[in-house]
A and B are shown apart, each in its own frame.
Chain A
Amino acid sequence: MSGEATAFSLASTGVGSRLLRYKFWLAAAALLIVLPHVPGLDGSFGRSLLSQMGIAAVFALSYNLLLGHTGLLSFGHAVYFGLGGYVAIHFMKLLNAGLPVPIAVVPLVGGLGGLFFALLFGSVTTKKGGTIFALITLGIGELVYAASFLLHGFFGGEEGITANRVRALPLFGLRFGPQIQVYYLIAFWAFVAAALLYAFTRTPVGRMCNAVRDNPERAEFVGYNPRYVRLVAFVVAGFFAGVAGGLHAINYEIVAADAVGMLRSGTALIMAYIGGIGHFIGPVLGAVVITWLQVNLSDYTHAWLLYLGLFFMAIILFAPGGLAGLIMMHAPIVRTRAFPRVLAGYAVALVPAIVAAVGASILIEMSYQLATHPELGTKIRLYWMDLDAATPWSWAGGAVLFAAGAVLFRLSWPFVARGWQRATAELKQSAGGVQ
C-alpha cells in the first residue's frame, strides 16, 4: 500500500503530469455534467442512482482519509455522516420555517456538524492508533446508535426527522425540487469535496498523515505529534462525512437512525477497500460499483449481500490494492508488445471463471429461495434455465459446474502468469535500454 502511494506521488510530481492532473479534474467535471443526460441514466431512476453514487463517493473518500492516508481503521465513521445529516436536517427545518438561506448551503452546515462531533469525540479517540482506535470507534458507534433511540428531541426516534428541500430561498431561481437539480447540487458538492480532499492530501499535514501511518515513531522524531496529526485527519474526515450526511438529508428529505448505524459505517469501509485505499480515486470507484450493486443486484436476487461479501473477501485475499490497484497494476504494461498475451491469458481464465460462477450461483440461489422464501416453492428461473430445487439434478448440475469451473480456472493460471512474465521482462529490458 505504502509502496503504491509513493509511486503515485512520484508520478504526479513530474513536470508534465501537472497539466495531466488538471486535465483529469476537468475531465471529471465534464463527466459529472454529462452523466445525467447519457441514455440509460437520463431517467428519474438513473439520476437518483447517480445522486446516491455522489453521496456515497464523498462518504467513502472521507473514510479513506482515515484508512488509506492515515492508517486509522474506523468502525464508526457513520457517526459523523449521521450526526452531520441530523444537524443538516434540523437546519433544513429552520429554512422551512422561513430562514432566508438557500438549500444549497445545507451540506456545509452538515459538514460543520460532522466537524463539531469529530472534534468532540476525536479529542479522546485519536490518542492511540491501531486496534485501540478501531475498538473505540466501534464503541462510540454503538453508543451513538443506541442514543439515537433514547434522545427523541434530536434524533426523532424510529421515524427520524423529516424536512422539505423545496420550501427554502431559491438560488438563481432553482428550487431543487426535480431530481436533476438535486443531482447537480450533489455533483457540485462532490466535486468540491473531492478536490479539497485531494488538496488536503498534498499539504504538509496530509504528508504527515502518511508518515504517521507508515511510521509513527519516526514522525514523532521529526517533530510532529502523531496524536495531533491523527486528530487533524479525523476532524477533516468528520467534516466531509458531515457534508455527505448533508447531501443525504437533501436527497432523501429524511434522516433516521440508520444514518448513524454500524451498517453504514461498514458500507463506507467496504466501498473504500473494494475501490482501493492506496489510490485517491479508489473510494470513488468503490462507491460507484457498490451503489450500483446495491440498487441493481438487490432487484434480481435475495442473495446479493452474500455476493457482496464474497466480492469483498476476494479483494482482501487476492487484490489488497482494490479495483484501483488492479487498474494501476496494468498501467505500465499496456504499451508493451506482450500486453495482448496478457489479455489472451485473461480471456482463457475468464471462461472457466464464468462457468464456476454460474454453478455457484445456481447452488446459492436455490438454497436461498428454499431457506428465505419457502412460499415461492422449489421452482426457480435462473439465467436461461428453469430449475427445480426439489430434484437432485439441479443441485448436482450446479455442483459439477462449480467444481469443473474452479479446477479449470486453477489450471488456466499459468497462461495468465506467462503473459505477465513476458510483459515484465519486456519492461525490464526497455528500462535497461534507457539507462
Chain B
Amino acid sequence: MLELTLVSLLNGVVYGLLLFMLSSGLTLIWSMMGVLNFAHASVFMLGAYFSYQIGRWIGFWPALVIAPILCGLIGAAIERYGLRHVHKGGHSAEILFTFGLAYLIEEFVTMIWGRHPLSNPVPPAIDFSLFQIFGTEFPAYKGLMMLISVAMFVFLWLALKKTRIGLVIQAALTHPNAVAALGHNVPAVFVLVFALGSALAGLAGVIGGFAFLTQPSLANTVGPIVFVVVVLGGLGSLAGAFIASMLIGIVQTFAVAIDYSLLDLLQALDVGVSATSPLREFYSIKVAQAAPILPYLLLVIMLIVRPRGLLGTRDV
C-alpha cells in the first residue's frame, strides 16, 4: 500500500509538473488577452515534433533550446498577424481563430510527419535510471522534466513579481488602457507574452514528447486538460495553475490505480442495489475507468460553483 501510494504520488507529481509547464503559458495569455487559446496545445505538439526533427539532425541538447525559440517565434507571429486582426470581432472571433488554427496545425503536422506516431525515444544522454524506488526505476528524463518545470515556475514568478517588465505585464493584464497611457507599448507586451507563453509550451513539448505519443492527435489529448488546469487554478494566477496542475496530476494518477466502484462502496456500507436498477451500470463503473473524465467533472463543477477558480481574482 505504501509502495503504491509513493509510486503513484511520484508519478502524479511528474505528470502535474508537466501539466504546469503547459498551463503556465496559457494562463498568462488567457488572463491578459481574454482569449481561450485553443492553439496552445498545438504549439506544445509543434515543440514535440520540432525537437524530434532537430534531435535527429543536430542532437537533443540543441533541440531543447532551438525548438522553444521556434515555438516562441510562431506564437509571436500568431499574435501579430492573426489574433490582432480578428480582435475587433470580439472574443468569439478570437476563440474561433485559435480553434481553426489548432485544426490547421494538426493537419500541417500530418502533412510533414504523417499520421502515425513517431518513434521518439528518450535520447541516450538522459536515458538512465536516476534512482530506484521499491524496485521501480525512476528515469532521468522525468527528473529533467521536474527540474525544468520547477525552474520555469521560479523564473516566471521572479520575472512577474520582481522585474520591471513583469510589473508592466501584470498591470496590462487588468488595466491595459492605463498602462498604454503611461507610455508603454501594450501591443508589444501582448506579442511578448504570447511569444513567451508559446515558447514555454514548446519547451514542455520537447520534454513532454517522451511522456506522450508524438502524433497529430497529441494536441487534442492534452488540450482540454490544460483548460481544466487553468480554470481550476484561477485565471492569471501562476500559483493557482501550479496547485491545480498538481491536483489534476495526482488525482488522475491515483484514480487509475483504484480498482473499486461506487457499487463496492455501497455494498461495504450495506446499501443494497437491486440487480435490475437502471443506475446499477452507473454505480458499477470503476474509479480507474472513470479516471479520464474526472478532470472534466472538476471543470464543470468548478465553473458552476466558483468560476474564478481556486486562486483567481476575477471570473473567467
Q: Tell me the count of chain A residues lying within 8 A, CB to CB, of chain B.
A: 43
Shortest Cβ distance from residue A144 to the other chain B in the assembled complex, whole angstroms:
9
Q: Is B211 an interface residue (CB 8 A)?
A: no
When the two chains form their complex, are residues A135 and B303 in contact, meaning their CB atoms are under 8 A apart? yes
Q: Given the known A-B contacts A143-B293, A146-B296, are A306 and B111 also in contact in the complex, defined by CB atoms under 8 Å?
A: yes
Task: Report 13 cross-chain contacts, Cβ distance below 8 Å, ordered by A residue.
Answer: A124-B300, A131-B34, A132-B303, A135-B299, A136-B300, A139-B299, A142-B296, A143-B297, A310-B104, A313-B104, A316-B96, A320-B89, A371-B115
Q: Is A309 an interface residue (CB 8 A)?
A: yes
Q: Is B137 an interface residue (CB 8 A)?
A: no
**Across-interface contacts of A310 in B (CB, < 8 A):** 104
**Interface members, chain A 361-391 (any B CB < 8 Å):** 364, 367-368, 371-372, 374
**Across-interface contacts of B224 in A (CB, < 8 A):** 138-139, 142
Q: Given the known A-B contacts A152-B281, A312-B103, are A136 and B93 also in contact in the complex, defined by CB atoms under 8 Å?
A: no
**Interface members, chain A 122-165 (any B CB < 8 Å):** 124, 127-128, 130-132, 134-136, 138-140, 142-143, 146-147, 150-153
A146 to B114, CA, bound (A): 27
Stretch of B154-162, B164-172, B252-260, B284-292 with 4 or more beta carbons under 8 angstroms from chain A: B284-292
Q: Given the known A-B contacts A67-B92, A320-B93, are A135 and B316 also in contact in the complex, defined by CB atoms under 8 Å?
A: yes
When the two chains form their complex, are residues A309 and B303 in contact, meaning their CB atoms are under 8 A apart? no
When the two chains form their complex, are residues A134 and B36 in contact, meaning their CB atoms are under 8 A apart? yes
Number of interchain pairs (Cβ within 8 Å):
117
Q: Is B101 an interface residue (CB 8 A)?
A: yes
- Please classify the interface of chain B as helix (H, G, I), strand (E, B), loop, or mixed, using the class held by over half of its residues: helix
When the two chains form their complex, are residues A371 and B304 in contact, meaning their CB atoms are under 8 A apart? no
Complex: chain B residue closest to A71, CB-CB = B92
A128 to B314, CA, bound (A): 14
Shortest Cβ distance from residue A230 to the other chain B in the assembled complex, whole angstroms:
14
Q: Is A105 an interface residue (CB 8 A)?
A: no
Q: Given the known A-B contacts A73-B92, A131-B91, A139-B228, are A313 and B100 also in contact in the complex, defined by CB atoms under 8 Å?
A: yes
**Across-interface contacts of A152 in B (CB, < 8 A):** 281
When the two chains form their complex, are residues A139 and B96 in contact, meaning their CB atoms are under 8 A apart? no
Q: Is A305 an interface residue (CB 8 A)?
A: yes
Complex: chain A residue closest to B281, CB-CB = A153
Q: Is A269 an interface residue (CB 8 A)?
A: yes
Q: Tell me the count of chain B residues lying within 8 A, CB to CB, of chain A.
A: 47
A266 to B99, CA, bound (A): 9
Q: Is B108 an interface residue (CB 8 A)?
A: yes
Q: Is A273 an interface residue (CB 8 A)?
A: yes
A320 to B282, CA, bound (A): 44
**Across-interface contacts of B297 in A (CB, < 8 A):** 143
**Across-interface contacts of B242 in A (CB, < 8 A):** none
Q: Is A331 an interface residue (CB 8 A)?
A: no
Q: Given the known A-B contacts A131-B91, A136-B303, A317-B86, are A269 and B114 also in contact in the complex, defined by CB atoms under 8 Å?
A: no
Binding site for B on A (CB under 8 A): 67, 71, 73, 124, 127-128, 130-132, 134-136, 138-140, 142-143, 146-147, 150-153, 262, 266, 269, 273, 303, 305-306, 309-310, 312-313, 316-317, 320, 364, 367-368, 371-372, 374
Shortest Cβ distance from residue B115 to the other chain A in the assembled complex, whole angstroms:
5
When the two chains form their complex, are residues B96 and A269 in contact, meaning their CB atoms are under 8 A apart? yes
Q: Is B107 an interface residue (CB 8 A)?
A: yes
Q: Is B227 an interface residue (CB 8 A)?
A: yes
When the two chains form their complex, are residues A303 and B303 in contact, meaning their CB atoms are under 8 A apart? no
Shortest Cβ distance from residue B96 to the other chain A in the assembled complex, whole angstroms:
6
**Across-interface contacts of B220 in A (CB, < 8 A):** 262
When the two chains form their complex, are residues B293 and A147 in contact, meaning their CB atoms are under 8 A apart? yes
When the two chains form their complex, are residues B36 and A309 in contact, meaning their CB atoms are under 8 A apart? no
Q: Is B315 an interface residue (CB 8 A)?
A: yes
- The contact of A136 among B108, B111, B304, by CB within 8 Å, is B304
Q: Given the known A-B contacts A312-B100, A317-B85, A320-B93, are A139 and B303 also in contact in the complex, defined by CB atoms under 8 Å?
A: yes
Q: Is B19 an interface residue (CB 8 A)?
A: no
**Interface members, chain B 27-80 (any A CB < 8 Å):** 34, 36
Q: Is B95 an interface residue (CB 8 A)?
A: yes
Shortest Cβ distance from residue A77 to the other chain B in the assembled complex, whole angstroms:
14
Complex: chain B residue closest to A147, CB-CB = B293
When the two chains form their complex, are residues A269 and B303 in contact, meaning their CB atoms are under 8 A apart? no
A128 to B316, CA, bound (A): 10
Complex: chain B residue closest to A124, CB-CB = B304
Complex: chain B residue closest to A277, CB-CB = B92
Q: Is B181 an interface residue (CB 8 A)?
A: no
Q: Is B307 an interface residue (CB 8 A)?
A: yes
Q: Given the known A-B contacts A127-B304, A130-B91, are A138 and B111 also in contact in the complex, defined by CB atoms under 8 Å?
A: no
When the two chains form their complex, are residues B95 and A316 in contact, meaning their CB atoms are under 8 A apart? no
When the two chains form their complex, are residues B82 and A364 in contact, meaning their CB atoms are under 8 A apart? no
When the two chains form their complex, are residues B316 and A132 in contact, meaning their CB atoms are under 8 A apart? yes
**Interface members, chain B 268-305 (any A CB < 8 Å):** 278, 281-282, 285, 289-290, 292-293, 296-297, 299-300, 303-304
A136 to B104, CA, bound (A): 24
A262 to B217, CA, bound (A): 13
In this complex, the member of B91, B92, B104, B227 whose beta carbon has the largest number of chain A beta carbons within 10 angstroms is: B92
Complex: chain A residue closest to B105, CB-CB = A309
A128 to B82, CA, bound (A): 28
**Across-interface contacts of B108 in A (CB, < 8 A):** 306
